[in-house]
A and B are shown apart, each in its own frame.
Chain A
Amino acid sequence: MIAVFGLIVGVLAGIFLEPTVPEALQPYLPIAVVAALDAVFGGLRAYLDGIFDDKVFVVSFVSNVLIAGLIVYLGDQLGVGGQLSTGVIVVLGIRIFSNVAAIRRHVFHA
């Protein structure tokens, strides 16, 4: 319950406070969102598995976002930023899909 509340507050704050993202960090925003989504779905699946741990969730969320951003930053410096972001999105996308599939099995027992 408190998680849903926090999410709603966060979305509202993001939309209405319009925090300015520094120009240098703007290219990494989409990657950060995908990485965060992966962590969130992983946490949701663990919750449905009955093994959720908020410390693990916090650490995995932060490290996911940071590592994804770091990989893309490295790619940008090496001139392969576009290809590396594609790779990161593919990997994270596959993880999200399989997590969602597990969640679906939990919810619908199918």
Chain B
Amino acid sequence: MTLEPSQSPAGGPTTRPYDDLLTQILAGAVDQDYVVAAQRRGDGGERSGGTPAFVVVVALFGILLGVSALKADQDRPVQAAERAQLVDQIHSRQARLDAMHNSLTTLQDDVTRRQAVLSSTLADEASLGDRLSALAVGAGTVAVTGPGVSVTVDDAPDSGSVPDGVIRDSDLQLLVNGLWEAGAEGVAIDGHRVTSLTSIRYAGRAITVDYRSLTPPYVVDAIGNPDTLPGRLLQSDGGKVWVELHTNLGIRFDIETSQSLTLPAYPNHRLIHARVMGGRP
């Protein structure tokens, strides 16, 4: 589009080349064609509309208006329906979101509660485990290693002539009980673990521990505090008896402390008594 400075034929506003778009639009609002056509006719008068083409165009304009109005009117309910549908969707989604938020809160509470239960269960498990291992040492179900004392006893050298110089089962029972009394955590005789159910008997000419015959000298190992165990043993009833046996009959009674003793597990474990935790006995 060339924008040459051109004087309007009717002396109208001049279109200058540097006018901006809006100014041009405003200045050229009236179709210059009318002015040009009027000049060409030379009279400056008007040719009023009466030709068939003019009527047809006016009628066309009317049809355009009518159809547009009709169409806009028809579209309105559709748009309203779509809008209502969207609003419904928004509401339903919001309701769903709220429900999900609620469910999230509930689930978070649930998680917190379950975590509390879990930690208390873990604490229970830890304490039960501690108790179990403490009991296992006493019950002899596990092998134990630790410091303790080793008591070696033997018949008197001249036991053939002095019948009292032979160690009897009751003597060994007294010794073991004395060790328990002195605070021993585990006791074994000649490598045989002694528990609360172990029998120490005299059978034939030998002492049996859990029906295994032993021959002197007997070595009684006890795990416990090596500093206090010998002293407390000597103060116990069993210890006093053994001191008398040693001094009066010459029976050997040696106590040695050791930093590392290993007691085997009690081999013949049978389940004698059981009950359900927290349930009916």
Chain A residues near B (Cβ < 8 Å) = 2-3, 6-15, 18-19, 21, 26, 29-30, 32-33, 36, 40, 42-43, 45-47, 49-62, 91, 94-95, 98-99, 102
Contacts and interface: CB of A to CB of B under 8 A. Distances in A.
Contacts of A53: 33-34, 37-38, 41, 46-47
Contacts of B35: 51
Contacts of A3: 49, 54-55, 58
B34 A51 contact: yes
Interface string B32-64: 011101100100111111110111111111111
Contacts of B29: 42, 94-95, 98-99, 102
B54 A58 contact: yes
A60 B31 contact: yes
Contact of A14 (B37, B50, B70): B70
Contact of A94 (B25, B59, B65, B71): B25
A43 to B, nearest CB: 8
Nearest to A46: B34
B71 A58 contact: no
B57 A62 contact: yes
A54 B69 CA distance: 26
Contacts of A10: 58-66
A98 to B, nearest CB: 4
A67 to B, nearest CB: 13
A43 B46 CA distance: 11
Contact of B48 (A14, A54, A95, A102): A54
A54 B49 contact: yes
A55 B62 contact: no
A55 B50 contact: no
Given A15-B70, A102-B29, A52 B34 contact: yes
Given A47-B46, A49-B30, A14 B63 contact: yes
Nearest to A94: B25
B24 to A, nearest CB: 10
B22 interface: yes
B34 A95 contact: no
A91 B24 CA distance: 10
Contacts of A18: 67, 70
Nearest to B75: A26
A46 B44 CA distance: 11
B8 interface: no
Interface string B65-86: 1111111000000000000000
Given A36-B60, A46-B31, A94-B22, 17 more contacts: A6-B62, A10-B66, A12-B66, A14-B65, A15-B69, A21-B71, A52-B47, A53-B38, A54-B48, A54-B53, A54-B54, A58-B54, A59-B33, A61-B60, A94-B26, A94-B29, A99-B30
A14 B49 CA distance: 22
B19 to A, nearest CB: 14
Contact of B66 (A11, A49, A58, A61): A11
Contact of B31 (A26, A32, A42, A58): A42
20 contacts: A6-B54, A6-B56, A6-B58, A9-B62, A14-B64, A15-B66, A19-B67, A29-B64, A36-B60, A36-B61, A46-B46, A49-B30, A49-B34, A51-B46, A52-B49, A53-B46, A54-B49, A54-B54, A91-B25, A94-B22
A79 B70 CA distance: 28
Contacts of B61: 7, 10, 36, 40, 61
Given A54-B48, A61-B57, A14 B62 contact: yes
A11 B64 CA distance: 8
